[in-house]
Structures are given as C-alpha cells and as structure tokens.
Amino acid sequence: MTKRIREERNSGFYDEKAERMGRADRTAFKEKGALKVLNYACEHAPGYKKFLEERGVDPGAVKNIDDFSRLPVLKKNRMPELHQGNPPFGGFLAVPLDKLKRIYVSPGPIYDPEGRKEDYWGLRKCLYNAGFRPGDIVMNTFSYHLTPAGIFLDEACNGIGCVTVPTGVGNTEIQVKTMVGLKINGYIGVPSFLLSLIKKMEELGHDTSNDLAMEIALVAGEILSPSLR
C-alpha cells in the first residue's frame, strides 16, 4: 500500500457547499433546522412535551436560535428513570418503532434508538475531515455489542470508501499479527489501546519503524493526555 502524503489527508471537502457556507447562511441554516426539530419533538414525543410543560416552558415562544437558551436542559443521568417510568423510551421516541434500525444499550441503562436514515449519526464527514480516505484499511477496536460506537463508526468508514477490520478490544497478539499482515493504516478506538498495540509489536520482535503502517487515527472514549500523544 502506497502511503498517502499529508496534503492528501488534509485537503478536500466532504460536503464543500456546506463547509464553505458563510456565517450568516450557516446561522440561518442551523436556526431553521433546530426549530424544525423542536416543533417535531413537541408534536410527536409526548415525554419531551410533558418535560417542557412541567417547567412552564412554551415551545411556541422559541422563534429564533437565541431563544433556545430558554429551554431547560434534560440531563442524561435522568434518562434511565424516565425510560423505566414509561418503557422503553420514556415517551421521547418521536417515530414509530418500525422506523428504527437498532436499539443500543448504554450504561444506566439508557436505550438509544437509531433510525434508518443513511449515515444516521453524521459520522462520514467527521472521519473524512479527520483525514480518512477511500482505500484505507481501518481497524475498529470499539465494541460492536450493546453500545453504538463500533457499528456506527464501521458504517461511516464504509460510507467514505474505507475497509474496516472489526477487531474490537483485547487479543492484542492477534491484533498485532493482523495489523502487520494486512498493513493496516488506520485506527479507531481509545488512545491507550493503540499504545498497547504498539508496545505489543515491540514485545513480539517487530520493528515499528518498518512493520507499523499506521498513518491515521480517530481516538475517543478517554482523555488524550500529552504522554499518549
């Protein structure tokens, strides 16, 4: 695999029209979208409508993007209680169940619905702007079970033309052999696990300057400390 030059990874647009949008147009675009979401949620998600009513908030008073500061914040740590009180989504699901593609389970538990829209989480743009490009072979070390990170990043990678290797976590020796054998040049996962893989390569006698093909990484899920950098 030919290494990509830095300029190739740092250039181009995923959505040039949107990314070159002027400030005024961008504000208007966000305002229109945010108002549409608010009105839809109040009409179709009874749990959210009740949440606002209990706090004396009239969503009809929200006319522009500045007015959103009037809306109360619904904290994530309240969701398990709300879900249990009116299962499965506490009245916050704004579409019929048959419009869902998956339901993920986050700690709490919190049930996270995923719709059927292509690139539902909008992560293709994220990966492209981080420097991932078509033809990259990417190891995705996030879990594919219960929580969403593994699957939605896998689908985003494939959506921009990357090839994913769904390694998950653990089995560092097998993962190192896979990295070397496939000349994997992209990584997705927590930063500390990438460091563990590099150390395991050295333990197994590999020369990281020659055997490590890694060029690009998207790390999340923990602090990226100066020492890890």
Q: Just give the CATH number of 121-219.
A: 3.40.50.980
Q: Rounded CA gap, 91 and 85, in Å? A: 9
Average pLDDT on 133-159 reads 95
Q: What angle do CA 175, 181, 186 make, to 5 degrees?
A: 65
**pLDDT tens-digit map of 81-118:** 999 999 999 999 999 999 999 999 988 899 999 999 99
Question: Which of residues 2 and 96 earns the better pLDDT score?
Answer: 96
Over the stretch 25-42, which tens digit does the pLDDT of each residue have? 999 999 999 999 999 999
Q: Is the pLDDT of residue 134 over 80?
A: yes
Q: Which two tokens stand for residue 4?
A: 């990509």
Domain ranges of the chain: 10-115, 121-219
Cα R_g (the chain), whole angstroms: 21
Task: Enter the pTM of the model.
Answer: 0.87
**Pair of tokens at residue 101:** 């593609």
Least confident of 18-22, 37-41, 44-48, 168-172: 168-172
CB of 185 closer than 8 Å to CB of 135? no
CA-wise closest residue to 185 among 203, 165, 168: 165
The arithmetic mean of pLDDT across residues 190-213, rounded, is: 93
Q: With the CA atoms of 133, 135, 136 and 138 taken in that order, what torsion angle do they form, in degrees rounded to the nearest 10?
A: 120
